[in-house]
Amino acid sequence: MPQHPVAGRQRQPETGQVEVEWYAIVFEVIDMRSFSNLWFWIALAVLWSTASHWVLGVPYDLVLRARRRGGEAAEDVHLLIGVHTRRLLHVAEVSGIWLVAALCFALTMLAMLGFWYRLEFAQALFCLALPMALVGVLSLRAARRIAAGGLQGEGLYRALARHRLGVQALGMLSIFVTAMWGMYQNLNLGAF
C-alpha cells in the first residue's frame, strides 16, 4: 500500500480515499518521550500551581481575604479547614496503611520501569508522583497539627501559610530536579 505524504494516513489503492490510522495520530500528538513534550511541562506547571493554590482544600486567596477582612471569609476558611482536616485524618486512620502500601508499590513500579528499564514515560510519571506523595505527607502533618492545636484565627492562618511555603519549596525543588533530569535525557538521547 503506497504511503501518503501525511504521516498516519494511507491511501487506499482502489478508492483513492485516505484511511486515518488513529494510533499514529495519537502518538504524533502525545509523544511518549515525555521530557521533550510540551504537554508534560504544561502538566507539571499546572500540577504545582494547583498544589500551591489549594492549601488543605482551601483556596489560598480565601485565606488571604480572611486574614485581611475577617467576617464571612474567616467563617468560610474555618468551616472548610474543619471539613478537610477531619476528612484527611479519617482517611489516614481508616485506610492509611493500605494507601501507603499501594503508593509505595506504584512508586516502586514507576521507578523500576523508568530507571532500571529506561522507560521515559515512567520516569516522567515518577517525577510527578513522588513529590505529590510528599505533598500528601506534608498535608497530613499540617492537618494533625491544626486538629491537635485547635488552631483558630491568626494561628490557623500562619499554619496554612507555613504549609503553603513548604509545598512551594518542594515544588521549586521538584521542578528543578525534573528539568535537570529532562535536559539530561534530551541531550543523552540527542547524542545517539
pLDDT digits (tens, 9 = 90+) for 22-55: 766 666 655 556 788 888 899 999 999 999 999 9
* Distinct helix (H) and strand (E) counts, the chain: 6, 4
- For the chain, which residues make up each domain, given as ranges? 1-30, 32-190
Sign of the Cα torsion 25, 126, 109, 87 reads: negative
Burial 19-30 (b: 16+ CB within 10 A, else e): eeeeeeeeeeee
The C-alpha angle with vertex 179 and arms to 137 and 32, in degrees rounded to 5, equals: 95
Instruction: Provide the whole-model pTM.
Output: 0.78
What is the C-alpha to C-alpha distance for residues 88 and 58, in angstroms, rounded to an integer? 13
Residue 108 pairs in a beta bridge with none
Check residue 12 and give its pLDDT.
54
**57-86 pLDDT tens trace:** 999 999 999 999 888 989 999 999 999 999
